[in-house]
Structure 1
Amino acid sequence: MADFVKGLLLSILSQKCYDEYFLKYNFLDVPCFKSTLSKGLGIGIIAGSILVKVPQILKILGSKSAEGINIYGVYLELFAITANFSYSYVMNFPFSAWGEGTFLAIQTAIIAALVLHYGGNSLKAATFLAVYVGLVSTLVSGYTPKDVLWSMQAINVPIIVIAKAIQIITNYKNGSTGQLSAVTCALLFGGSIARIFTSIQETGDSIIILTYCVSTATNAALVLQLFWYWNVKTTSTKNKKKKKRT
């Protein structure tokens, strides 16, 4: 049992920090505190990412509509997520530093397919999923040059800005956030903030850190829009119901 507990702790702590905490009883070691906090946040983000976009998927399925969700924004976001986890995987960064990317990519791909499906093009949705799976397999296979992956990661910064800007502008033009999920947007915002810290601690890669800083800023803009249009959305929904009754 003791060995099992030690193994569990070592999945979060380094051997050095384990010794500091449980052999030397030095609980005030600052580097170990930062490292442990980073690992814990990383594991928490990965666990949360398994379901982070499920509310958005369920909202689309429940309403049988992807109204207000810009497909081009989803494509660009998917590219950014895919470039990030592919680059991190090939660079052998710790899984706790990027693992949520795999789950976010799966869920974002599903959202893209649903937008296409409810837009009246089921064949295009199925083709998109097949092509995406093939693309990801190629990127992580080891045959794609690292320079290509780095370049994909580097252009993530403008792509994230463009992807989120497309959705922000769509919300502004519609005067509402449509089928966007408040839960999903809030979780993505919180996760991107935490990722700035974990990226500094676990990768030290400036392009990864910059990517999450930009992601945090753009996610914040979407969260603000959700609050701004909250009552507007509610009012428009009520008006539609009144019109149906009359």
Structure 2
Amino acid sequence: MDGNLSLHVANFSTLFVCMVLKFPQIFVLLRARAAAGVSLNSLLLELLGFIVFMSYQMYYEYPPLTYLEYPILIAQDVIVLLLILHYNRNLKHSLIYAALFVGGWQLLTVKKWVIDLAMSLCTLISGSSKLAQLQCLWRSKDSGQVSSLTWALATYTCMARIFTTIITTGDTQVLVRFIVMTILNMWVTATVIYYKPQAVKQD
């Protein structure tokens, strides 16, 4: 009973957090009207990782509560992407990205080996997205437009998913992904805080 309660708490808290996870980042971008410090490559890789992971979970008919947050995260990432493109004056590229992501999404589930291969690369893809953001921060040494709260919330959701994965599916690939993502999200969070301008200590 306690195990089921803990699982429900982890699932629903993750879902709730993910419903607002990108809001701090969106608000920071809107307030600053600039996207300095926010890595476009990181966001694109993150979107790709989310799409692959959700497609894998759906393909193998995993419990919906183990991946229900991903459509929400994808929608929020799309908003962040549009804001970055807008502030970088590259909004016309949004149609190209949309075509690539939608086309790739359709191809993922054409064959079993395709989705399995994509999932085997998912940790690398998602990990690369965090490293791209870290590289952007190291290069600019300024995290003024990067929300530390968003990254902290992402760390929590990955930690919660480690627990839910162990309890529900025990899928090793999924478990490894969440462990790696937890570590990298913590690293990005710490880096964002480190490079946060002294005059702006809150999002």
So what's the TM-score if we normalise by structure 2?
0.90
Q: Deviations over 1:45-67 (max 9, x none)?
A: 11221111011112112222111
Unaligned runs of 5+ in 1: 1-31, 238-246
Q: Are residue 80 (structure 1) and residue 49 (structure 2) matched?
A: yes
Q: Are residue 219 (structure 1) and residue 185 (structure 2) matched?
A: yes
Q: Give the Å deviation of 1:129.
A: 3.2
In structure 1, the partner of 2:127 is 161
In structure 2, the partner of 1:132 is 101
Q: Give the Å deviation of 1:69.
A: 1.1
Q: Matches of residues 103-142 of structure 1 in structure 2 within 5 Å?
A: 103-136=72-105, 138=106
Unaligned runs of 5+ in 2: none
In 1, the alpha carbon distance for the partners of 2:98 and 2:29 equals 18
The sequence identity of aligned pairs, in percent, is 25
Q: Are residue 205 (structure 1) and residue 174 (structure 2) matched?
A: no
In 2, the alpha carbon distance for the partners of 1:148 and 1:132 equals 16
1:45 and 1:100 in contact (8 A); partners too: yes
In 2, the alpha carbon distance for the partners of 1:44 and 1:134 equals 32
Q: Deviations over 1:160-180 (max 9, x none)?
A: 222111111211121121311
2:48 and 2:101 in contact (8 A); partners too: no
In 2, the alpha carbon distance for the partners of 1:92 and 1:43 equals 19
> Rg larger in 1 or in 2?
1
In structure 1, the partner of 2:110 is 144
Secondary structure in 1 matching 2:21: coil
1:160 aligned partner, one-letter code: S
Q: Deviations over 1:71-102 (max 9, x none)?
A: 11111111111111111011111111111111
In structure 2, the partner of 1:178 is 144
In structure 1, the partner of 2:68 is 99
How many residues align structurally? 200
Q: Are residue 234 (structure 1) and residue 203 (structure 2) matched?
A: no
So what's the TM-score if we normalise by structure 1?
0.75
In 1, the alpha carbon distance for the partners of 2:55 and 2:121 equals 14
Q: Deviations over 1:172-225 (max 9, x none)?
A: 121121311121111001111111000111121110011000000000101111
> Larger relative CO (CA 8 A, sep 6+): 1 or 2?
2
2:29 and 2:145 in contact (8 A); partners too: yes
In structure 1, the partner of 2:155 is 189
